[in-house]
Amino acid sequence: MPHHINRRRFFSSCATSAAAAAGVWASTDSASAIEPIKRNGTHKFKFSLAAYSYRDLLTGDPPQLTLFDFVDDCAKMGLEGTELTSYYFPEPTTNDYVRKLKQHCFKLGLDVSGTAIRCDFGYPAGEERQQQVDWVKRWIEYSEVLGAPVIRIFAGYQQEGVSPEKSHSLFVEGMEECCDYAGQHGIHLALENHGGPTSTAEGTLALVRDVQSPWFGVNLDTGNFPSSDPYGDLAQLAPYALNVQLKVVIPDPEEKKNPSDFPRLAQILRDADYRGYVVLEYEESGDPRIECPKYIAQIREAFV
């Protein structure tokens, strides 16, 4: 897919250098080359829970709970929304199932705040790459039925024998193709900072800078920057966030888990005038049906 040349692309290309550690090409002046999402000058937070938080309960043969049960729990917690992760939908997923789940959410007064999928745009042209693109497009259609405005996506990984420069182009071209399709259905694609080329703020911003679509932004995951300054990294991405997934711990470079500073995270989002969902994604070992309500209460207190 040809890239469109515009003022943002011109200035960003003037400042491009190799980010070898991240395996992508990153700008030395990324932040100044990117246009933040336009807000109205005041923050607004709504709260949701990611189905991934219930992963052990939603998997197994048979699983202990269904997505309908998970939605029931979200309503019991007094949440405004529920995030429905694709991993826990039946396969094959039918439109009838999706419509019934949407109806269930609506009757409980819940938005579907977003959906989440696995995808990898690092494959060169061929069957594997086409499967990835088709999978994203299928979930764009499901998300439209669900009324979910945004899908969490991944960039993918550099494949063996593919240069960093070529990998960057593959990531960008794949996301642009899917964003074009997403826009036709009124859905946004939000790139999560999650390993590979997005393991650093600079690597994530390099992709955000180059993907040319008004239907694209960041899925800001607060637990995925194990750097010496994770809060500073998150602050760099916050102006481009379409969705926020909040973790209860943040790892340091030695992989020690430190409790998340919810008030500090809230201030980062206030400073960015973020308006949208703050989604708890609980990944620790406790029983999520017990722990998630406790953390939701803490988050509501911090995010005012």
Alpha-carbon distances of 216 from 92, 94, 152, 190, 288, rounded to whole Å? 27, 27, 10, 6, 31
pLDDT-based confidence at residue 25 (cuts at 50, 70, 90):
very low
Burial (Cβ within 10 Å: 0-12, 13-18, ≥19) of residue 241: buried
Any domain includes 120: yes
**pLDDT by residue (tens digit) across 182-207?**
999 999 999 999 999 999 999 999 99
Any domain includes 193: yes
Query: Has residue 10 got a pLDDT over 60?
Result: no
Any domain includes 9: no
Average pLDDT of 28-48? Answer: 76
**What is the domain extent for residue 115?**
43-302
Collapsing DSSP to helix, strand or coil, 267 comes out as helix
Alpha-carbon distances of 129 from 96, 135, 188, 250, 286, rounded to whole Å? 28, 10, 21, 33, 37
Any domain includes 5: no
Any domain includes 16: no
**pLDDT by residue (tens digit) across 50-88?**
999 999 999 999 999 999 999 999 999 999 999 999 999
User: Among 65, 45, 46, 43, which residue's Cα sits nearest to residue 55?
Assistant: 65
Q: How many domains does the chain have?
A: 1
- Which residue spans within the chain are E strands per DSSP? 16-19, 24-27, 44-49, 81-85, 111-116, 150-153, 188-192, 216-221, 241-246, 249-251, 257-259, 275-280
| Cα gap 55→57, rounded to integer Å | 5
CATH number at 184 reads: 3.20.20.150
- Which pLDDT score is estimated for 35? 84
- Which pLDDT score is estimated for 31? 35
Query: Has residue 30 got a pLDDT over 60?
Result: no
Any domain includes 91: yes
Any domain includes 21: no
Query: Has residue 248 got a pLDDT over 50?
Result: yes
